[in-house]
Amino acid sequence: MTEHTRVNPSRPAEPGVASIRPLQGRGPMICIIGAGVGGLSMARALKRKGIAFDCFDRRDRIGGIWAFEHSGQHTSVWHSMNMNTPKGLYQFSDFPMPRHYPDFPSHRQVHAYLNSFVEHFELRDSIHLDCPVQRTERLPDGVWRVTLGSGEVRHYDALVVANGHHNTPNFPDYAANTTIDAIHSQQYRYRHGYREKQVMVVGVGNSGAQIAVDVSHDARMTYLSLRRGVYVLPHYLFGIRIDKVMGVLNDWWVKKILPYPLSGLMFTGLYKALIAKRKQLGMPKPDHLMMSSLPTLSENFANRVGDGKLKVVPQVQRIDGNTVHFVDGSQLEVDAVIYATGYHTDFPFLPAKLLKVEENRIPLFQRIFLPDMPNMAFIGLFQAVTWGFLDMMERQAELTADYFAGQYLRPEPDSERRHIAAERKVIEREFLATPRNNYEMHGPTYMHYLAKELRQGRDRAKATGSVSPLLVQAYAYDALSTLAKPQASAVESDPCQG
């Protein structure tokens, strides 16, 4: 059972639910929402700076989507899933994955690795599980009032949002009017329930392609419906891991030498020459250059098509009963549908007026900061054309911790807004116009310029004698609350419950 170890809150939890002890000292106090990779990166970065924090997550384990759970209540990996990112490209800079892990570790191995990271850097005591954040409010003095699912109220000098963006499923319009057995990929866990059934997967991102391959091993026949052709990469090419074959070509300096559309033309040509002919997969011709959307990485996709167990079909127009009608006029009888159609980015715990997100368009400076908001940050709120996102979240957390410590100085708000506008133009020019791509970026280029911004921000801080932007007022709320009531007696802690 998860237990909390802090007592005396600003407002106690509901009866029967243990409270959380206030953070000690009179320094800044930070609230992190989410204990996935982004939240863990932020926790470690703050601990290195000696900044006190609480990290809350509604799940019962750390790890975000890597924390497998059976119920489908939260987005998580499925039972047989292996990581698509090659080992070595999804690890913390000073804490490598174990040497004995395979090239593409299982989700169990990834979760064990994240657990060992938490233990190694002694983060566990500041992480509170089964503890959802119900709502947040920024008070007139800048302090964040955080209400937990237990009813307990806490106060913090800054808020870091790292809850991920795979929380609210997106469904196609026609799905609301169907009666067929259907789920979103968010709920997919086991393939055995589809044994001897005709199954259609809708959507060909990484999840859609991987689920189609997985379910095809038990289903009588699996169909994959898609709107457009995509580029599907295998794990290995000529016996060599795919990132070692193509990885260097996706570096920032190659993109600098071959700006859009030249880099896309290069990758498209290589794909056609070395990897696959679209007709061999039954795939329609892509209407975009490779790298103008995140390529689909799926081992055994071509094999399952070649074995006749997986077939690509057109975009769905509507579903009547068990009959699927496609936009080309053809139709098909299926027993079940799995929608791998992405997610809406939303933050139900944030004030609605704070951040307006339309189809995943998120106006953040360096994908981290809201202009004019000095004590708030977002970690991991992006999609990227790269091999893995962990190192990007680690660097975001490093910059954010430097900022909270007064060692990095942000540009003026108007400068941040100009940067956001310029980045929006790049997205509209270089990436497909879809909700998934509306917060896309080229990963290596982002990493290069984020490192440059960190250096410049540190120089600005030194030149101006910058101090922390945090006003360090939250501790007073808890101190006043403690004085206003009798000393709490020791009780056995129960999980913070929603």
Which pLDDT belongs to residue 8? 32
Which pLDDT belongs to residue 159? 98
Look at strands 52-56 and 168-169 and give their pairing: unpaired
Q: What are phi and psi of 230, to 5 degrees?
A: -130, 170
Strands (E), 328-460: 331-333, 336-339, 343-344, 376-378
Which pLDDT belongs to residue 282? 83
Which pLDDT belongs to residue 498? 38
Is residue 248 within 8 Å of residue 336, measured between CB atoms?
A: no
Distance of CA 145 to the CA centre of its chain: 25
Look at strands 323-326 and 331-333 and give their pairing: antiparallel
Q: Token pair for residue 246?
A: 């193509």
Q: Token pair for residue 449?
A: 């310029």
Please state the length of the chain.
498
Is residue 216 within 8 Å of residue 304, measured between CB atoms?
A: yes
| Residue 282 backbone class (left: φ over 0; alpha: ψ -120 to 50; beta: rest) | left
Q: Token pair for residue 193?
A: 């329930």
Which pLDDT belongs to residue 479? 61
Cα angle at 126 between 493 and 66, to 5 degrees?
Answer: 100
19: three-class secondary structure by DSSP? coil
127: three-class secondary structure by DSSP? strand
Is residue 386 within 8 Å of residue 371, measured between CB atoms?
A: no
Look at strands 153-156 and 331-333 and give their pairing: unpaired
83: three-class secondary structure by DSSP? coil
Is residue 314 within 8 Å of residue 308, measured between CB atoms?
A: no
Instruction: Name residues of the chain where pLDDT drops below 70.
Output: 1-22, 24-26, 277-280, 478-498
pLDDT in tens, 272-314: 888 876 666 788 889 999 999 999 998 899 999 999 999 999 9
Q: How far apart are CA 3 and CA 280, in angstroms?
A: 54
Which pLDDT belongs to residue 25? 63
Q: 394, 389, 384, 386: which is closest to 427 by C-alpha?
A: 384
Q: How far apart are CA 315 and CA 335, in angstroms?
A: 18
Complete edge-to-edge strand list for the sheet that includes strand 331-333 = 316-320, 323-326, 331-333
Is residue 26 within 8 Å of residue 149, measured between CB atoms?
A: no
Look at strands 310-313 and 221-225 and give their pairing: parallel
Q: How far apart are CA 257 and CA 287, in angstroms?
A: 24
Q: What is the pTM of this model?
A: 0.92
Q: How far apart are CA 317 and CA 295, in angstroms?
A: 25
Q: What are phi and psi of 267, to 5 degrees?
A: -65, -40
b/e code 70-108 from CB counts within 10 Å (16+ = b): eeeebbbbbbebbbbbbbebbbbeeeebeeebeebbbbe
Distance of CA 304 to the CA centre of its chain: 29
Q: 278, 284, 276, 277: which is closest to 326 by C-alpha?
A: 284
87: three-class secondary structure by DSSP? coil
